[in-house]
Amino acid sequence: MRKQTFHFGGAFEHLPYSDVVRAGDLLFVSGVVAWDAATDAPVAGGIEAQTAAVMEKIKRILESVESSLDHVVKMTVYLTDRKDFPGMNNVYRTYFPGQPPARATIGATLMEPDLLVEIETVALAGGTVPPETKQHEDEE
């Protein structure tokens, strides 16, 4: 099975992980947080704003590797406060108005105190990856 890794740069590019790994027909998107690159801080505005920022970033990541939110099969949501569950759900459901993917929601402490939500994603791979995407391939 062929494995490809993808790196998109950004605030966390110095950390030892891949933004996306493609293994066969599956894409594994590392946990995405609501980090505002302009301010170098978490997105302000509470759980709704952070959930929307995370979902928009996941959408862009998937599109950059020729997939989409329609191809998502599983998401894992990490929340720092269980009281944010309804607010996260209100935003999350707008991204999956039809048949939502499987999902787990876990209470967790995130790496920055003002981060409220982190979401990791498993999706079906789409077509070919654009050549301008920074990637690495391994044969296994």
Instruction: Please write the tens of the pLDDT for every residue from 15-71.
Output: 656 788 898 999 999 999 999 888 889 999 999 999 999 999 999 999 999 999 999
Q: What is the pLDDT of residue 110?
A: 93
Set out the domains of the chain in order of their start, with CATH numbers.
2-127 (3.30.1330.40)
Given phi > 0 = left and psi -120 to 50 = alpha, else beta, which region is 46?
A: left
- Best CA proximity match to 58, nearest among 105, 121, 6, 115: 121
Q: What is the pLDDT of residue 11?
A: 55
Going 99 to 101 to 104 to 110, the CA torsion angle's sign is negative
Instruction: Report percent pLDDT > 70 for the chain.
Output: 81
pTM: 0.86
Q: What is the pLDDT of residue 9?
A: 62
Rg (CA), the chain: 15
Residue 70: phi and psi, rounded to 5, are -65, -20
